[in-house]
Amino acid sequence: MRIRPAGLDDMDFIESAYDHARAFMRRNGNADQWPAHYPSRIDAQDDIARGRCFLVEDDEGPLAVFAFGPGPESDYASIDGAWRAETPYHVIHRLASVRGTGVARAAFAFCAERSPHLRCDTHADNVPMRRALESFGFQPCGTVMVCGRFPREAYDWVAA
C-alpha cells in the first residue's frame, strides 16, 4: 500500500468512499456518526485545498481516503477526561475505506511517521474504528463534543 495526496480528480472515489463508509456504519450499528450530508463534497474539497486529504492505494487503485493535518482542533480544547500530552499534535479525520485489510493501520503509520503526537475521535458505536485505533496504540482519553453537541470518543497516540 502507498499513500498520496488526493486531488480534485479523485472526488468521485472520495464521495463513493464516504457513501460506502456510511452504509457500512449503518449496517454495523452506527447509524448516527455520519449523517447523509456529512462528510460532503465540500468537506473533501476543503481538505484537498488545505493539503490535508490523502488516499491509500494499492496496484488496483484507491482503497481509502482520510484527512490528516496539524492541530489545534477547536473541538479538542475541552475534554471530559484528559489528553495524555499537551504537545503540538496532528489530527486524523474522515477515514473511509472501500476494500482491503490493514488500511487504517497504513493510514495511522503514515501519520505517525509525520507527527509524534496524534489525536482522533470517533463515535462510541464505531467499534471497528475503535479497535483499529487501539490496535495501533492509540489510547482512549475521554469524550469530546464535536460541533458543541455530538459526543465522540477521543483518542491520542504519543510516540514512545
pLDDT in tens, 54-73: 999 999 999 999 999 999 99
How far apart are alpha carbons 158 and 136 in whole angstroms? 11
pTM value?
0.94
Say whether pLDDT at 34 is over 90: no
Q: With contact defined as beta carbons under 8 Å apart, do 76 and 108 qualify?
A: no
How far apart are alpha carbons 102 and 52 in whole angstroms? 21
Say whether pLDDT at 94 is over 90: yes
pLDDT at 58: 96
- Structurally, the chain folds into a number of domains equal to 1
As beta bridge partners, residue 97 has 64
Q: Domain of 77?
A: 2-158
Please write the tens of the pLDDT for every residue from 96-154. 999 888 999 999 999 999 999 999 999 999 999 999 999 999 999 999 999 988 999 99
Helices (H), the chain: 11-27, 41-49, 103-114, 127-136
Q: Where do the DSSP E strands lie in 17-98? A: 53-58, 61-70, 80-81, 90-97
Q: Give the CATH number for residue 33.
A: 3.40.630.30
